[in-house]
Amino acid sequence: MPSAPNTLFARASRYRGRVSTIGLVLTPLLGACASTGATFRSGVGDTFLEHPPWYAGADVTGQSAALGHLPVAYQRGASQPALFDPAETPALSQLLADMTRFVDSLGLSLRLVEGGRVSAVAHRATTQPPDVHFGCVTETGAPDDECAEREGALGRGRQPMRLAVGRPSPEWTQWIGEVMTQQGVERVLVITLEIGQYLIRQRGLAGTKEVELGTAHVARLPWLTSLETPVSVLQLTGALVARDGRAIRIGAEGLLARRTSLPLSSIGAQALITEADIDELRTARRQDLAGTPLVWQQALRILVAQLTGEAAVVQSLR
């Protein structure tokens, strides 16, 4: 299906039994095609959090271990059928390359390669690495299913979010173990750019609407934003993984949210992240922070710091 970054791009709620709209054209909603590993014995159990920071697993602060990292990858179809996620365009590929170089620049870990970056990314594409899931609690528990109904007043009651990680495939575990042994590292960072489904909160007497994206990062939304429909969020997820493939610590940081307007929600549709949103993210800055860092750099810095226990990274590279 050709991409349509400058058109209305939305999908319908499967819970309502409707269909999706792409540029005002109705199409059937297809089943998800992203494969995910089982979370049982993955190293970190399923965790339910109501507010950020979105992290779970062992506290690794002060632990000394040789660290490696893989190139930041894009997972299409992490929380919905892949056709509703942007394709990996040259701009997105450039963003991934910039993110990988930024992790390099932090100086905490060695980039692990096997015959170069292309070989490492190709191997990830043919086997199953650890798959961190983060988003709303779903009806069936599957990451790509509909968000479950919420408790209490819409937007004001309890709104738990699920953080979990799927086990990698045996092939990936064997491969990464060999690479880590060759490079002399004990733990590896696996970081992925993907799209998740977040819930909107409503605060105060005025009913201010917002999405808690991550650590000290809240996106304010216009009042005419649907509370009933979750928002698509472009996010970074990550795992600190041991040589046996089991996760030690996992987490997520949201980058941007695509709100669904009330009129769009009324016809059972949800606004989606587009290629134009990703292009905008490449240069978007956190105006609420000193030095106005790039949104993705700040989120990636915090993610790496939280996963490795190196809190000083958050203050670095100002």
Q: How many domains does the chain have?
A: 1
Tracing tokens 């932090």 back to the chain, one arrives at 106
User: Residue 267 — very low, low, confident or very high, per pLDDT cuts 50/70/90?
Assistant: confident
User: Residue 26 — very low, low, confident or very high, per pLDDT cuts 50/70/90?
Assistant: very low
Backbone φ, ψ for residue 91 (5° rounding): -65, -40
CA atoms within 13 A on the CB side of 164: 24
Sheet holding 131-136, edge to edge: 47-49, 161-166, 131-136
Does the residue 88 lie in any domain? yes
Q: What is the pLDDT of residues 44-103, one digit of tens each?
A: 989 999 999 999 999 998 888 999 999 999 999 888 888 889 988 899 999 999 999 999
Does the residue 236 lie in any domain? yes
For residues 164 and 47, the answer to whether their CB atoms sit within 8 Å is yes
For residues 15 and 139, the answer to whether their CB atoms sit within 8 Å is yes
Does the residue 147 lie in any domain? yes
Does the residue 78 lie in any domain? yes
Cis amide bond preceding 143, omega within 30: no
Question: Nearest Cα to 146, choosing from 260, 9, 10, 12?
Answer: 12
Q: What is the pLDDT of residues 191-202, one digit of tens each?
A: 999 999 999 988
pTM of the model: 0.84
Domain that holds residue 308: 34-260+277-315
Does the residue 1 lie in any domain? no
Q: How many residues are listed for the chain in this entry?
A: 318
For residues 210 and 223, the answer to whether their CB atoms sit within 8 Å is no
SS3 content of the chain, % helix, strand, coil (to 5): 25, 30, 45
- Dihedral-angle region of residue 225 (phi above 0 means left; psi in -120 to 50 means alpha; beta otherwise): beta
Question: Nearest Cα to 229, choosing from 7, 9, 11?
Answer: 11
Interior angle at CA 247, CA 295 and CA 213, nearest 5: 25
Does the residue 18 lie in any domain? no
User: How confident is the model over 259-270, as a mean pLDDT?
Assistant: 80
Does the residue 182 lie in any domain? yes
Does the residue 232 lie in any domain? yes
